[in-house]
Amino acid sequence: MAARVFIWYGHPLFARAMETLLRREGMEIVGVAGETAEAVPAILHCRPDVVVADRIVEREHPLAIAEIIRVCQRVRVLVLDLIEDGMRIYDGQGSGAGKLEAIVQAIEEAVPHAAPAA
């Protein structure tokens, strides 16, 4: 069973890149939104396993993220920070650096029922 992923972005290029990369890895993209007014209701409605957001979202909308976590208690929010040597993953349980493989692994670890990408 594929992990259900929602992409919430502050920068459109981030969304396009994540959508392309995660689809290739067999993840089910259940939604993509840039505006908080669109993203929060969509996330609360579709109840994804994981919300992948960029640091812009985290910096500008921390209360919205807290509300999503409060209402959708099983959701994991992974915040990716684009940096020179790859990406940094913030999942509320510390952070780690890596590339696409680390992102996919973080999603798979967040969703016990997700089958590893082949």
**pLDDT tens, residue by residue, 35-79:** 999 999 999 999 999 999 888 888 898 899 889 988 988 888 888
Architecture of domain 4-110: 3-Layer(aba) Sandwich (3.40)
| CA–CA dist 76, 110 (Å, integer) | 6
| CA–CA dist 100, 106 (Å, integer) | 10
**pLDDT tens, residue by residue, 1-35:** 788 999 999 888 888 888 988 887 778 999 999 99
**pLDDT tens, residue by residue, 71-87:** 988 888 888 876 655 55
The ranges assigned to domains in the chain are 4-110
| CA–CA dist 30, 51 (Å, integer) | 10
Per-residue pLDDT for 96 more than 60? Answer: no
